[in-house]
Chain A
Amino acid sequence: MFWYFQVFVYLFLLGVCGVMVTSKHVIMSLIAIEVMLLSINLIIIFVSLCFDDLFSHLLFVIILTIGAAESSLGLSLMVLFFRLRGSISLNLLSLLKS
């Protein structure tokens, strides 16, 4: 069982690497964040099975809700930003005049 747990930790690390590598492309970063949330959900499910706990299922539902809200808000921000600037790039994301 602990071996399964390690695999999901590696999946989380892949999500972190995806956020780092595709940091110029915001939608790919959002996808990598989704992968991180999925791996956290799987870790929580496995921990709940290991410790015979039902509270983790509630935590699963909360994380699912937060993930859906996060992705919807991020994508709507991206639509707004595309309408404003004409492209999605984190180089253009800073509105400050240096």
Chain B
Amino acid sequence: MFIVLFILSLILDGIVLVSVRNPIQSILVLIILFLKASIIIIMLKIEFLALLLLLVYLGAVAVLFIFVVMMLNIKILERQEQIFQYIPLTILMAIWIFYLFDILIYLTFDWKRDLFLIEWINLIKNIDSISNLGYFFYSIWHIIVMISGLILFISMLGSIALALQPSQKKKLDLSTQAEIIDYTLRYFRKTFRR
């Protein structure tokens, strides 16, 4: 019954994450939340996805968040006065999502049957989750794995192209006479200003 404790502590972590003011503390709580989520998934015997979550979110995304927050020197979040204008929209979205996820799924699916975990991997064959997923990823669903790789590549290129500063040095182009005169004039202006 450790899994119940972990699942209930996820809600507590979520409350702390929303209500805390400093973004660095919020990111640290986010790291704890991801760790707990990966522990929950490990307890459900899906090791590969848990390690993937640990690798991607804790290894890349959380470090990226910490890096950006430390680099940008961001102040602590000030509580705005117009917070109350968002509350009806939040309640409306909460009711809608609660209806969508909770009531609709509860009514449509047959939840009355015994929903405890059957270890279906062990029932079929004594193979673990990694080899089972690897068989499907690289044989049947290969195109979707390639598409996700393409998405990561495009996002990497986009983030580099967004954050890239154009180089300050201009290449000297002294082909015509006017440009030579212009360059010398600029050079003398720069020297005599000092």
- Kindly state the separation between the CA atoms of A69 and B61 in the bound complex, as whole angstroms: 9
Are the CB atoms of A71 and B90 closer together than 8 Å? no
Are the CB atoms of B26 and A11 closer together than 8 Å? no
Are the CB atoms of A57 and B61 closer together than 8 Å? no
Residue in A28, A49, A60, A67 whose CB lies within 8 Å of B117:
A49
Are the CB atoms of A7 and B8 closer together than 8 Å? yes
B91 to chain A, nearest CB (A): 9
Provide the A56-83 mask, 1 if CB < 8 A to any CB of B, else 0: 0110111011111111110111111010
Closest to B158 in A: A73
A49 to chain B, nearest CB (A): 6
Which residues on the A side are within 8 Å of B98 (C-beta)? 9, 13
Residue in A13, A30, A68, A80 whose CB lies within 8 Å of B155:
A68
Which residues on the B side are within 8 Å of A76 (C-beta)? 158-160, 162-163
B30 to chain A, nearest CB (A): 6
Are the CB atoms of A21 and B86 closer together than 8 Å? yes
Are the CB atoms of B49 and A60 closer together than 8 Å? yes
Provide the A22-64 mask, 1 if CB < 8 A to any CB of B, else 0: 1111011011101100100111010001101010011011101
Which residues on the A side are within 8 Å of B2 (C-beta)? none
Which residues on the B side are within 8 Å of A35 (C-beta)? 14, 17, 30, 33
A92 within 8 A of B: no
Are the CB atoms of B15 and A14 closer together than 8 Å? yes
Interface residues of B in 7-27 (CB under 8 A from A): 7-8, 10-11, 14-15, 17-18, 23, 26-27
Which residues on the A side are within 8 Å of B107 (C-beta)? none
Are the CB atoms of A12 and B69 closer together than 8 Å? no
Known interface pairs A64-B52, A69-B152; A34-B61 also in contact (CB < 8 Å) = yes
Are the CB atoms of A45 and B71 closer together than 8 Å? no
Which residues on the A side are within 8 Å of B105 (C-beta)? 5
Are the CB atoms of A24 and B102 closer together than 8 Å? no
- Kindly state the separation between the CA atoms of A15 and B44 in the bound complex, as whole angstroms: 24
Are the CB atoms of B7 and A4 closer together than 8 Å? yes
Known interface pairs A57-B46, A72-B159; A16-B94 also in contact (CB < 8 Å) = yes
B183 within 8 A of A: no
